[in-house]
Structure formats: C-alpha cells, structure tokens
Amino acid sequence: MAELWIGSNNKKKRAELTRLLEPLGITLLTPDELGSSFDPIEDQPDFAGNARKKATLLANLSGGIALADDSGLCVDALGGRPGVLSARYGGPGLDDRGRLMRLLEEMRDVPAAKRTARFVCSLCVAAPGDRVLAGIEAACEGVLHTQPSGNEGFGYDPIFVPAEYANDMSQSFAVLGKEIKDKLSHRGKALQQLVCDLPRLIADAN
C-alpha cells in the first residue's frame, strides 16, 4: 500500500487531512513517527512558499513522499491580514480563541457589507531531494460574523460563514459540520483537485 507523510503538527488539521484522504487507501504517516524533530520555520511570504518548505523538509527527513499545506484567513477590510500569519496572529501568547477574538476586535466597526474574507489553502507534494511533485492552491469565499458560533472545526471557523450560506450568518464552518466543510472549504477544494493524481504521483516518485 502506498504511504504518504502528512506535514503538519496541528492535530486538528491533520485529522481533517486524514479524513479527506482516507478514501484513497493510502497509509498516512505523521511527523510523530519520524523519531526526529519536525519543526519548520514558516517564514515565506506566501502560502505556497510555506507549503513547499514544509513538504520538502518532511520528504527529506522521512525519505518518503510528503504532503504539506499552508493555509489561512485573508480579510479584505484588513488588507489581507492575517494571511500567512493566521496561526500566529497577535503573538505567541494567544491560542485559537485569543486570535479569533483579536480579529473580531479589529473588525468591530466594519459594516456587514465589507466583512468579506476568504480562506486560502496551498498544498505541496514533495519527494526526497527537494523534488516538488505538485502544487495546488484553492480558496473559499465568505463573510465574517460579528460573534463566534458553533463548536466544530478549529481556528477561525466559528466566525467564517461560507458564501453559500451568507443569507444566514449563524451558519459558520463551526456550525455546518465536517461533511459540508469538507465539500466547501479551501482545503477540501484543494484536495479534490489533487486526489485523482495523488496515487500516480506517489507511484511514479517511488
């Protein structure tokens, strides 16, 4: 059976990637199984650069094929922030909830018509020797609620309402649940583009 390393230390993100990739019949491995540290510095100016850096590092460390993503929330009223800093927004002292509340405070005076935003996901598949096998980027358009709702998902999900549900601002990704999120989300869309080619990419690289 083909094997694929998942380049993320975020357990909730890894669970989401696993759920989306399991139907392919690929054995998924995580950095915990390396026996060495996987702690990439995400210092690239865009999502694609960070995904590439993580995927190539994990492929070289593991000696196998690696898939990594970099993703985040881009808010129009904030000039695209938090963007690539989404997971670190506001500094190291904040957790997911703290970053979400920080963002809501910045958006406090932004009217409903200007609360547009998008989640962006860049995926990179790499093989040892810094070989990039595939790169894909996808986005999910939506609007930001003025308060969190729902208990599903992670990160900014409780305030992000996908465009398909914008007529009911209570329908955040944290309310809609895994099945709907997997179909509409930035990560789901990117993986949907990748899944048809992934088994072939792994086979060819080996």
Q: Which of 67-71, 111-115, 198-202 has the lowest mean pLDDT?
A: 198-202
2-36 pLDDT, tens per residue? Answer: 789 998 877 777 787 888 787 777 888 888 888 77
Q: What is the DSSP pairing of strand 3-6 with strand 116-127?
A: unpaired
* pLDDT at residue 97 in the model: 93
Q: CA torsion sign, 79 to 83 to 126 to 178?
A: negative
43-59 pLDDT, tens per residue? Answer: 999 999 999 999 999 99
What share of the chain in percent tops pLDDT 70?
A: 99
Q: Is residue 51 classed exposed, middle or buried when 0-12, 13-18 and 19+ CB atoms within 10 A define those classes?
A: buried
Q: Is residue 175 classed exposed, middle or buried when 0-12, 13-18 and 19+ CB atoms within 10 A define those classes?
A: buried
Catalytic machinery residues: 70
153-186 pLDDT, tens per residue? Answer: 889 999 999 999 999 999 999 999 888 998 999 9
Domains of the chain listed by start with CATH number: 3-205 (3.90.950.10)
Indicate the pLDDT class of residue 1, thresholds 50, 70 and 90: low
Q: Any idea what the Cα angle at residue 179 is, between residues 173 and 182, rounded to 5°?
A: 70
Output the CA–CA distances (angstroms, integers) from residue 68 to 27, 42, 45, 101, in the order listed: 15, 12, 16, 27
Hey, which of 1-15, 114-128, 190-204 has the most confident mean pLDDT? 114-128
